[in-house]
Structure 1
């Protein structure tokens, strides 16, 4: 067992609440091993830790310590979306599982901005394998815009941007406030992901009052409330047509923004807090 895991287990064991409820809100699922005999809640955001494991031993190690044992030992398992719940149940059959969505940071508030239909700023958050940046770049060729990318770029992506003659800028290691400002500055939030556990940028964009282009996949269908420009993330032409539709149709944009602002109300901190308080009282 890696030393960092052992240190975390020791810390949790020493600080466990024997009379109350111990809640592991994600990532360090294995720490529930230090809570045996205590009331515990485990929140699972996604199963990317398994999907990212290429070697058989690493995959089994993550499955055992991050999924199987934690969900079997937890008093209650919380998934942040129906999609995550269904994925968990494919691997482990349990009954003590339910859905409570992630809340949105109340700092994300509506900020009015005149849409730049001549040269819109398209905000792309994340450069991981699932964020679909390559197809985004290919879909944007010959569309006048400024692509604002948050996340470190590798040489392959930089070459693709240059070959496609994409006007772009790149930032990373931003503070929370700087991230919020990126949403305010943009015209379109770009999120054509291939895989997500929830899709927080979708509701962050909606809360800011920006039109969101995203994938027609779960859990984004569930989370977005349909108030987005849906595309097929595996088809460059579909992504491209989505941009063109947003840029050319003001009535469509305005409708998506209105519906998006309505959709995010269900993700307020107050709403999610009430659901957790009800849950805690049942354990």
Structure 2
């Protein structure tokens, strides 16, 4: 008998976060697995039809576009309501107290099903439960989050874990961190299942990259110059960062390091930052705007999913100096695209890089600057890093991730 699966879809809405990408890649494959007899979606107390098709359409639209709004699932109203209240600590406590029991009431009568929460939180449920814990930054680094978010995580995660039969972490580093912080959990109830890059991330020819870069230049919100201006991005002639603009991503130190490069190197290899505005990023955006005015940075507010692999493949160097990651999927996406990588020697990032990237101390601007110069100018290192990165990226697979996830379900099946 196949698995009766209930999949929490609260992260399946645009714009996709890293958790949203993980949820989407799992859901795409679980829907077609012959080991899953029935798959249902549940989000914010509502049963939903499969959100995959509408979500994939929305990934090609800017988040505030009419097309995006017209096809969002009904649960997005509640998602927006939850985000609006997230800064109110009284509202956070009320939501924490009431929502699990409301959701549990809606889920009643599914004793033979498995509930998978790919975004941490398991509501009261009669059957067996799986939770994916992506990172524990709210405990390790609460300064990287709004106070209300830390409060909510501290309130909601412990009771959620009491309702959880098995925890999936997305790296061995996060698994070890989880077992250290929650020592009463048996080790055989916590499994590390690593993520992967989509098959669309692979090396590409200059001829295929250039038109995509031109389309990105023409995307509303990305262009600071008149429509007729030529695309400033040249394949193989820019450094790249991809990620939300927020303190944890360490973009301020990246900007400082890049601003200290020789002017000729900055002009030859401008920095491209692609990512939406996150928490506490106003001053970072002012620095980004100044660097754009100085001519050595290009900011892409929105990158359609179909163009993102081309943006990666066109980079001369990918720089990801994050202060903390539970996994660090952009590292694998860059390596799979045949691009040398600089990343941090902290948390899960050395594990994910697997010796194929240049590791830096993310707190040391000079270390970041020195690595950028070396990685742009040392052709021997670049050739080695490209081949090592491709080899390392090939060791990650979404099919393997899904197979191991289903294996976890099967251990719990009644």
In 1, Cα distance between the equivalents of 2:206 and 2:325? 28
Question: Pairwise mapping of residues 21-100 of structure 1 onto structure 2 (< 5 A)?
Answer: 21-27=114-120, 29=121, 32-35=122-125, 37-50=126-139, 51=142, 52=144, 55=147, 59-66=150-157, 68-93=158-183, 94-95=185-186, 96-100=189-193
Q: What's the TM-score, normalizing by structure 1? A: 0.85
Q: Is the 8 A contact 1:112 1:209 kept in 2?
A: no
Q: CA RMSD in A?
A: 2.9
User: Which consecutive aligned stretches of 4+ in structure 1 deviate over 6 angstroms post-superposition?
Assistant: none
**Cα distance between partner residues in 2 of 1:38 and 1:279:** 14
Counterpart CA distance in 2 for 1:178 and 1:4 is 38
Taking the aligned partners of 2:384 and 2:316, their CA distance within structure 1 comes to 15
Residue in structure 2 matching 1:156, options 278, 283, 290:
283
Instruction: Give the superposition deviation at 1:74.
Output: 0.9
The answer to whether residue 14 in structure 2 is matched with residue 14 in structure 1 is no
Provide the C-alpha distance between the structure 2 equivalents of 1:81 and 1:200, rounded to a whole number of angstroms.
Answer: 11
**SS in structure 1 of the partner of residue 346 of structure 2:** coil
- Does the 8 A contact of 2:130 with 2:168 survive in 1? yes
Q: Equivalents in 2 of 1:210, 1:158: separation in Å?
A: 26
1:211 to 340, 344, 347: 340
Residue 132 and residue 33 in structure 1: after superposition, are their counterparts in 2 closer, same or farther (change >3 A)?
Answer: same
Alignment match, 2:404 = 275
Which deviations, in whole Å up to 9, do the C-alpha atoms of 1:1-21 show, x marking residues without a partner?
A: 455995676456534642121
SS of alignment partner, residue 22 of structure 1: strand
Q: Which residue of 2 aligns with 1:139?
A: 257
How many pairs does the alignment contain? 276
Instruction: Give how far 1:274 is off.
Output: 2.3
Alpha carbons of structure 1 residues 149 and 240: separation in structure 2 relative to 1, 3 Å: same
Matched, 1:129 2:247: yes
- Flag the 1:113–1:220 CA change in 2: closer, same or farther, 3 A: farther
Deviation at 1:43, TM superposition (A): 0.5
- 1:197-224 CA deviation, whole Å, 9 max, x = no partner? 1101100000111111111112011111
Once the two structures are TM-superposed, the CA of residue 140 in structure 1 deviates from its matched residue by: 1.4
* Secondary structure at the counterpart of residue 281 of structure 1: helix
Structure 1, gaps ≥5 residues long: none
After superposition, residues 185-200 of structure 1 pair within 5 angstroms as 185-200=314-329
Of 182-191 and 57-66, deviating more is: 57-66
Q: Which moved more, 1:149-158 or 1:204-213?
A: 149-158
Alpha-carbon offset, residue 151 of structure 1? 2.5
The residue aligned with 1:101 is 194
Distance across 2 between alignment mates of 1:58 and 1:274? 32
Contact 1:136–1:236 (Cα < 8 Å) also in 2: yes
Alpha carbons of structure 1 residues 59 and 257: separation in structure 2 relative to 1, 3 Å:
same
The equivalent residue for 2:353 is 224
Give yes or no for contact 1:147–1:166 (8 Å, CA) kept in 2. no
- Deviations 1:126-156 (Å, cap 9, x if unpaired)? 2210111111111112242211111256553
1:21-60 C-alpha deviation (Å, 9 max, x unpaired): 1111115x1xx2332x3111111111234424565x8645
Structure 1 counterpart of 2:26: none
- The reply to whether residue 251 of structure 1 matches residue 375 of structure 2 is no
CA shift for structure 1 position 196: 0.9
In the alignment, the residues of structure 1 paired with residue 270 and residue 251 of structure 2 have an alpha-carbon distance, to the nearest angstrom, of 14
Task: Note if contact 2:238-2:316 (Cα within 8 Å) is conserved in structure 1.
Answer: yes
Structure 2 residue runs without a partner (length 5+)? 1-92, 208-232
